[in-house]
Amino acid sequence: MENQRNSGLENPIEKYPKPPYPGQQQPFPGLASKMDPLPDHGEKSYIGSGRLKGRKALITGGDSGIGRAAAIAYAREGADVAINYLPAEESDAQEVIALIEAAGQKGYAIPGDITDYAFCEKLVEEATASLGGLDILVNNAGRQQASESILDITNESFDATMKTNIYAPFWITKAALPHLEPGSVIIATTSVQAYDPAGILFDYAQTKAANVAYVKSLSKQLGAKGIRVNGVSPGPIWTPLQVCGGQPAEAIPEFGKMAELERAGQPAELAGIFVLLASNEGSYSTGQVFGAAGGMGHP
């Protein structure tokens, strides 16, 4: 009877590797395929059930991390998916496209730098043409570089963070909006840094707070049009963002240990939230920010 009662339960503390992790650093923007341990994006675990059948999604930063987990889940739920990424991330991106196609869906790889306004317009145009429309937009790509002092942040680095995390979602949303019909969704990836910012992430934290305001304000504009806008607020998630300057090198071995679940989260653990927010089951959620932070931060 005891075994029956506990069937299928997973202890979240023991589900994935816990610190200490091997020390590691990569040059920006980093590759998931070179991380140790390898992140889990749901490659083997995510099972779809047709919740997004016929949908058409564009995901920025879809080559690795949270964007990759969303892309895999969306494809296995029946959506065709276009992903954007930097050219240096091509090998990771091709793995994602192969996974999308293995799920029986169409996958489109669109490399390019979203800090460039002209490319953002081109990205939406190409994604919409390839997909035959657009009804899910996930503004997920982010830039995070840790600095001990504001004095260490160059104007060039500050500008790149602002353009990646704030300007690009603005440009991409403007370009996408004419294509979005009632029932479409926009999802932004924000962070616990929006609510409880670390001193070493001074510029990044500001952009994540802006992403929360993006969700709250834009949802009020688009609610009457039947377009939902929501956000996902991750905590410490094991992605290339962390090992290519997002955390100090000495912090990597203990990354995530401060969470109540005593470990870093895996991208796959956020996939279900992105699916819910994109699906018809989430039809009464707009202007909301959903947290997945292992017990840390808000909301």
Q: Are 57 and 82 in contact (CB under 8 A)?
A: yes
Both structure tokens of 197: 């910012």
Kind and range of the H or E element at 81? strand 80-85
Query: Is 204 among the residues known to form the active site?
Result: yes
Where do runs of H (alpha helix) occur along the chain?
A: 2-6, 65-76, 90-102, 117-131, 155-162, 168-176, 202-222, 240-241, 268-278
DSSP-derived secondary structure for 186-239: EEEE--GGGTS--GGGHHHHHHHHHHHHHHHHHHHHHGGGT-EEEEEEE-SB-S
Q: Rounded CA gap, 220 and 217, in Å?
A: 5
CA gyration radius for the chain? 18
Q: Rounded CA gap, 252 and 127, in Å?
A: 35
Q: Are 243 and 28 in contact (CB under 8 A)?
A: no
User: Which of 32, 41, 38, 50 has the alpha carbon at shortest distance from 103?
Assistant: 50
What is the DSSP code (8-state) at residue 265? Answer: B
Both structure tokens of 32: 């998931």
Instruction: Please identify which of the residues 74, 204, 214, 284 carries the catalytic annotation.
Output: 204
Which position has the token pair 């969470």? 259
At residue 58's C-alpha, the angle toward residues 36 and 40, to 5°, is: 20
Residues identified as active-site: 204
